[in-house]
Structure 1
Amino acid sequence: MRHTNSVFHDLLKLVPWATFDKLVVEFGSDDAVRRFTTRHHFLALLFAQFGGASSLREVEAVMASHRARLYHVGANAPKRSTLADANRDRDPRVFAKLFAHMLAATPRGFRRTMGDAVRLIDSTSLRLAGAGAQWARFSSDVFGAKAHVIYDPDLGRPVYHAVTAANVNDITAAKAMPIEAGATYVFDLGYYDFSWWARLDAAGCRLVTRFKANTPLREATIMPLAEGSDVLSDRIGFLPARQAANRKNPMHDAVREIVVETETGKRLRILSNDLDAPAQEIADLYKRRWQIELFFRVMKQTLKITKFLGRSENAVRTQLAVALIAFLLLRALQEITKATHGFLELVRLVRANLTHRRDAARLRHNDPPRPLDHRQLELNWAMT
């Protein structure tokens, strides 16, 4: 009779465990650990993400109820105090590095040259409260963190993430992000900094963002518009010689201003350093920004990044990294099984069948129960 793994087991087979073990050694995250190893910790957090657990107590109770089924994947049911201690004390870089490795291992068919790569940059707020959140103090009684993400809209997955306190400006976090030479970066007004734009420009990157309302375009030349275009105007000129605080502007090259009108009648001044592409192409690139906002919404609806199992900096960084790994695993499952249903439905089906022995490619099908092995029944009867 054909053996069928649990859905959780099928998802875990997509994890590069050899790399995971190397990272555990690299960061010494199992040093002086007797029982609750890094692997146990990782499996518990993944189970919480896939299962939708919202508290340490829920993780403890649900994993204990499935103890027999979890034994076969090497997981155990931790006490909530044990899990809380691990969230607070274990180095989150193990999980962040694993996420980075899994991104680098993207199948060759999905890779493109950097000239074709589009990168959307944005951040989302993560509200925190209670003991351990002092590192993320925003005001006298408000605590929060930010997740800063670079997102690939063509692959439908993040390619970089970082966590800061909520009072860290987006542009401050952006300056620490890696720059991929030749890629296209699309971002909003939170990243309005001429010196950072100059760094992108020097790396051969195309940038697409918005002008602030009070930023003029000097020595502007009006460009002709393509027939049938939605663009209202297209001009090439130069940014002001000075930026905020009377600092010199290092962005000396010409830029482009493309004016479009939204469905609500609002006019947007889109800025780009690409002087050659059709104006409509630049406008369409800026429209793609909504995809990273949709990603944040999906993450908050389907995975646990709005309620944290710990509020210390380590705990938040760890849980966010594991949530992103869970997202990659679900995306991989969706691609491998060639699922025709949407991502949100896949998450719901995985959650409902997580410890069941089901074919992950047939979660929507009402398959009959596995037949009993009558030979075993006959043997048991004969022995009585």
Structure 2
Amino acid sequence: MRLTPSILGKLVEPLNRRRFQTIVDSHDGDAYDKSFHSWDHLMVLIYAQLSGADSLRGLEAGWNANCQHHYHLGSDRLSRSTLSDANRRRPVGVFAETFEHIANQLDRHMRREGAAMLRLIDSTPIPLGKACGWAKSNGRIRGMKLHVVYDPKSDCPRVLDITDANVNDAEIGRTITLETGATYVFDKGYCHYGWWTAIAAAQAFFVTRPKSNMGLEVLSRRPIKSAQGDGFTVLEDVEVSLASKSHRKLPIPLRRLTVQRQNGDTITLVTNDLQRPAVVIAALYKGRWQIELLFRWIKQHLKIRKFLGTNDNAIRLQLFAAMIAYALLRIAARACRIAMPILRFTDLVARCLFERRNIAAIDKPPPVNPSQRKLRSSPGQMSFSYA
């Protein structure tokens, strides 16, 4: 009889065991935990994300209650003390590289044309509060930052980094590997003239908002053929450069756009793209809201508000496990051609993790077993009559 894998078993199928073991060996990930291996650790943390477990005791109880399914996951029973030790000592690089591997799978069917390569860059704070006394503060929150380079076409975070809350966004931006022909859209927090110059040198483009103290000199005005966009109007399109004393800091041609939103607010955009129409440039920046939706979804549906440990290593491991779970859900939805909204699909997965059923029909009742005999009873049985 053919085995029907559980929903959780089907979700983790894209994780190649041999490839994962190669990653573990390169980081010496199993150096300290001989019985609780990196694979066991990954399976448990993915289960914690999808099931909503937010404590070590609850995670241990829920995982061990389904021990009959562990064999097909390649894992075993869990002890919360063992998990706590692994959270403290296992190298974060194991999960970070595993996320890169899964993200590449999610994106491998996308076309690699320059016109289609849009990258949204932003960060979101991860508040940790007083429980983590080691966490640094940026003046607003005490905790960490999750930095993401997001591909809205494939709905895939392509780059993921976790830093202290006081790390400047521009520092992380400079570490990103630039892709020729890509367009990078980010806010004014990523203002760094050297990085902008590097983007132009890589034959890529950027669209951003300038800081208020950025002195720009108008060189020429460009005609606006079509000013009306979806929810905005382009008021001005000019070629500019930095003021004469600072020109050498940013020796590339620039455009400055003035855009008026529907509510009457006016924003200023700066780009090194001299070819696209102004209305297209403004639409690219408007599309930056998609990465905000990604952050909202992650915080609402993955467990990154309560953590299974209070040390730096445990929090980083849990954040990477959350993003691996996110990518696995997207891969499953795409491979099985799930038509329902991703939010409903995620809720159903959480309720059926260890059920053995077809993931493509997760929203349908399980088929009736034909071997089960129907109960025969008289139509009048158990009926009552009143005089």
* TM-score using structure 1 length: 0.90
- Supply the distance in 2 between the matched residues of 1:70 and 1:81 (Cα, whole angstroms): 19
- Residue 89 of structure 1 is matched in structure 2 by 89
**How far off is 1:143 after superposition?**
2.9
Alpha-carbon separation, structure 1, partners of 2:140 and 2:123:
22
1:11 aligns to 2:14 (yes or no): no
Which residue of 1 is the match for residue 74 of structure 2?
Answer: 74
Match runs of 1:164-175 below 5 Å: 164-175=163-174
Q: Distance in 2 between matches of 1:363 and 1:105?
A: 23
What's the TM-score once normalised by structure 2's chain length? 0.90
Aligned to 2:157: 158
The answer (yes or no) to whether the contact 2:227–2:279 under 8 Å persists in 1 is: no
Looking at structure 2, the residues matched to 152 and 326 of structure 1 have their Cα atoms a distance apart, in angstroms, of: 17
The aligned residue for residue 300 of structure 2 is 301
Match in the other structure for 1:211: 210
Q: Which string of whole-angstrom CA distances, capped at 9 and with x for unpartnered residues, describes residues 287-310 of structure 1? A: 111011100111111111222212
Shift of 1:187: 0.1
Q: Which residue of 2 aligns with 1:29?
A: 29
In the other structure, the counterpart of 1:328 is 327
Say yes or no: does 1:238 pair with 2:246.
no
Residues matched between the structures, number: 369
User: Is the contact made by 1:52 and 1:303 (CA closer than 8 Å) also made in structure 2?
Assistant: yes
Cα distance in 1, alignment partners of residues 358 and 173 from structure 2: 42
Q: Kindly tell me: are residues 191 and 32 of structure 1, through their superposed partners in 2, closer, same or farther at Cα, counting changes over 3 Å?
A: closer
The one-letter code matched in structure 2 to 1:197 is: W
* Corresponding residue for residue 379 of structure 2: none
- Residue correspondence of structure 1 range 174-323 to structure 2 within 5 A: 174-227=173-226, 229=228, 230-241=233-244, 249-323=248-322
1:138/1:237 Cα in 2 relative to 1: closer, same or farther (>3 Å)? same
CA 1:220–1:158: 2 relative to 1, 3 Å: same
Distance 1:130 1:211, change over 3 A: closer
CA positional deviation for 1:311? 2.7
Give the match's secondary structure for 2:4: coil
1:340 maps onto 2:343 in alignment: no
Once the two structures are superposed, residues 297-329 of structure 1 have per-residue CA deviations (whole angstroms, 9 ceiling, x without a partner) of: 111111112222123221122111111111111
For 1:145 and 1:130, the matched residues in 2 are separated by 13
Structure 1: gaps of 5 or more residues: 375-384
Given the superposition, is the C-alpha separation of residues 234 and 160 from structure 1 closer, same or farther in structure 2, using an over 3 Å criterion?
Answer: same
How far off its partner does 1:370 sit? 3.8
Once residues 139 and 256 of structure 2 are traced to their aligned partners in structure 1, the CA distance between those partners, rounded to angstroms, is 41
Q: Distance in 2 between matches of 1:134 and 1:164?
A: 16
CA distance in 1, matches of 2:135, 2:368: 50
C-alpha distance after superposition, 1:39-69 (max 9, x if no partner) = 1111100110111111212111111211222
How big is the alpha-carbon RMSD for the aligned residues of Structure 1 and Structure 2?
2.1
Tell me the CA shift for residue 270 of structure 1. Answer: 0.9
**1:42 and 2:42 matched:** yes
Task: Structure 2: state its 5+ residue gaps.
Answer: 374-387
Q: Distance in 1 between matches of 2:244 and 2:19?
A: 49
Does structure 1 conserve the Cα–Cα contact (< 8 Å) formed by 2:135 and 2:142? yes
Q: Describe the SS at the equivalent of 2:137.
A: coil
